[in-house]
A and B are shown apart, each in its own frame.
Chain A
Amino acid sequence: MISSFINHKIFTLLKVQYSNMLEYRVEIALWAISGIIPFFMLNIWTNNNLNESINISDVMLSRYFLCAFFVRQFSVVWVVFSFEEDSLMGKVSPYLIQPLNPFFRYFAQHLAEQITRFPFALIIAFFFFIFNPESIWIPNIGILFLSTISTFLSFLIQFLIQSIVACLCFWTEKASSIERLLFIPTLFLSGLLAPVVSFPSYVKSWIYLTPFPYLIDFPANLLSGNPINVSGGLFMQILWILLLFPIFKKIWFAGTKKYTAMGS
């Protein structure tokens, strides 16, 4: 039953959304380029020898930021903005009376966009290696497999967090403002600007209790080969998904009761 659902509905959704995304290939290339914050951060870290304070070599640090770039490319989520626009314009109404939760559409849209992004991300990585040849490495299959799973789990966590925020559109018209508020801890605590290991230990212990380090820091460290507690990290990612999913379901059901179908 579930496998036929995934095969039939999700696969068709993915196929259609991929065709749709290919219509925007130039935009996607630009979005991919716009995700190069980790490279700027790498530059700041290495130019100021900040890595010495946390005992990470230049090579390992550059691999970390390249991996952070990759993880970010495949876990970036914008569902709150799409859902907010669709619900304000009344576009959600036709989706709500179809036998498929509208969030599957957004989910497929994100996956399709990631597939479209993949070649552009590879090109950027290629140029990164040209300028940083010492950073070239080939992760083993096992690590590659685990970090792919971990990146997907990171995407799921972010998708669920944003979907919960998106559901607030049923109560407030500008749910994206809440997302903007969430962006601040995401930016600082996820490992996008600095590896979480660089934080003071008393702060670190608190950070690891939040979902943020499992968004970028954990999968990026895993992929780059830095020493890390793999099973503990994967366990925390799954735990956050298991915690967030029922919240999403509950807020979704409560929200659809409040839905007024405005704009349609």
Chain B
Amino acid sequence: MEKNIIDVRNLSKSFDITSKEPGLKGTIKHFFRRQTKSLKVIKNISFEIKEGEIVGFLGANGAGKTTILKILCGLIYPSEGSILVSGYLPFRRKENFLKKITLIMGQKQQLIWDLPPIESFYLNASIYDLDKFEAKKRIKKLSEMLEIDEELFIPVRKLSLGQRMKSELLAALIHEPNILFLDEPTLGLDINAQRNLRKFLQKYNKETNATICLTSHYMKDITSLCKRVICVHNGTISYDGELDLLLRKLSPVKEILIVCRSEEDVIKLENSGFSVKNKNKNEITIKIENNSITSSLKTILNNFDIEDLYINEPPVDEIIGKILIKKDYDL
């Protein structure tokens, strides 16, 4: 059995925030007396992540996903609770812990803007105590995996967003971390660049058994990479489990579009007890529960003269969107 690499118990995090009333009066009041209040952004959450798992953190903007990642990688201190990442307390930022992790933020960059990425790679290699030979070997391997070659020698400011993101990944992975925290890594990338990045992450996970914690607003990132998702709503975990199970729970029915050879069959189908969504001449759309889909289809194919049939999966974005906007969604 795979061991837990991340163990979070009753974690909470509060931030002190100041508020200001609008207008000149509010500004003057704010100047002399700041109104500060404590805002609890993470509320008593617990979860574990096993070595090699890829876990997606889902939630609306401000739900607390990024704060969780920042606490896990040691960037910010927790207010309450206990966290162990690879056996370390992240907020102590011990050298051996930092050598095991990496954090990639889609909207932030660590590469030196005016120099080619290769300079930043060698700099990172020395920060992580890699010798030149080992650094060269890793740069070669990762640049092949990421399909960047000539870009290594072009100043960062001249690279496209996709090329920059690949270079960021290389810089963040040069020390071969076994835990990756990715905060919207595909933000702003075009469809091909997104796909390539996902392919790379899958390959990296397969080859190194690295654990990946990922947040993304692109559902394709989540569906193609993560078997498990943790849904965060208003600082609490509203769901922690398999993505497939979540989708089945949230969308228990499938829509079947049936094209019949005659209009009589459409009428017969309409009167045979199926839940009908709509019909049009010799086409009819019915809803069938996921657990009875095989038997229902068998019945339809055996009893009706069917010309064609389409099974429509409900769009994942739409389903996940339901959890993001509804506060008390029953999961």
Question: Do A and B share a complex?
Answer: yes
- Point out residues on A near B: beta carbons under 8 Å: 8-9, 12-13, 16, 19-20, 23-24, 90-91, 93-100, 256-257, 259-261, 264
Q: Does B76 contact A (CB under 8 A)?
A: yes
Measured between C-beta atoms, what is the minimum distance from A256 to chain B in Å? Answer: 8
In the A-B complex, list the 4 residue pairs whose CB atoms are closest, starting with the nearest: A12-B126, A94-B110, A99-B95, A23-B114
Contacts of A91 in B (CB 8 A): 108, 110
Q: Does B77 contact A (CB under 8 A)?
A: yes
Q: Which of A12, A20, A96 contacts B93 (CB 8 A)?
A: A96
Task: Determine the distance from Cα of A95 to Cα of B74 in the docked complex, in whole angstroms.
Answer: 12
Q: Is B75's CB under 8 angstroms from A99's CB? A: no
Q: Is B127's CB under 8 angstroms from A97's CB? A: no
Q: Does B145 contact A (CB under 8 A)?
A: no
Q: Is B126's CB under 8 angstroms from A13's CB? A: yes
Measured between C-beta atoms, what is the minimum distance from B123 to chain A in Å? Answer: 5
Q: Which of B103, B119, B122, B123 contacts A94 (CB 8 A)?
A: B103
Measured between C-beta atoms, what is the minimum distance from A33 to chain B in Å? Answer: 22
Contacts of B95 in A (CB 8 A): 99
Q: Is B127's CB under 8 angstroms from A100's CB? A: yes
Interface size on B, residues (CB 8 A): 32
Q: Does B279 contact A (CB under 8 A)?
A: no
**Residue-by-residue, is B49-88 near A (CB-CB < 8 Å gives 1, otherwise 0)?**
0000000000000000000001001111100000000000
Q: Is A16's CB under 8 angstroms from B105's CB? A: no
Q: Does B115 contact A (CB under 8 A)?
A: yes
* Closest Cβ neighbor of A8 among chain B residues: B126
Q: Which of A19, A93, A98, A99 contacts B115 (CB 8 A)?
A: A19
Q: Does B226 contact A (CB under 8 A)?
A: no
Contacts of A259 in B (CB 8 A): 75-77
Q: Is A97's CB under 8 angstroms from B126's CB? A: no
Q: Is B93's CB under 8 angstroms from A97's CB? A: yes
Task: Determine the distance from Cα of A10 to Cα of B174 in the docked complex, in whole angstroms.
Answer: 18
Contacts of B93 in A (CB 8 A): 96-97, 256
Given A23-B115, A97-B73, does the pair A90, B122 have CB atoms closer than 8 Å?
no
Q: Which of A12, A99, A257, A260 contacts B123 (CB 8 A)?
A: A12
Measured between C-beta atoms, what is the minimum distance from A5 to chain B in Å? Answer: 9
Contacts of A8 in B (CB 8 A): 126, 129
Q: Is A257's CB under 8 angstroms from B77's CB? A: yes
Task: Determine the distance from Cα of A259 to Cα of B91 in the docked complex, in whole angstroms.
Answer: 11
Q: Is A16's CB under 8 angstroms from B76's CB? A: no
* Closest Cβ neighbor of A7 among chain B residues: B126
Q: Does B11 contact A (CB under 8 A)?
A: no
Contacts of A97 in B (CB 8 A): 73-75, 93, 98, 101-103
Q: Does B148 contact A (CB under 8 A)?
A: no
Q: Does B128 contact A (CB under 8 A)?
A: yes
Q: For window 106-143 of chain B, which residues contact chain A by CB distance below 8 Å?
A: 107-108, 110, 112, 114-115, 119-120, 122-124, 126-129
Q: Does B15 contact A (CB under 8 A)?
A: yes
* Closest Cβ neighbor of A9 among chain B residues: B126
Measured between C-beta atoms, what is the minimum distance from A21 to chain B in Å? Answer: 10
Task: Determine the distance from Cα of A16 to Cα of B73 in the docked complex, in whole angstroms.
Answer: 27
Task: Determine the distance from Cα of A250 to Cα of B101 in the docked complex, in whole angstroms.
Answer: 26
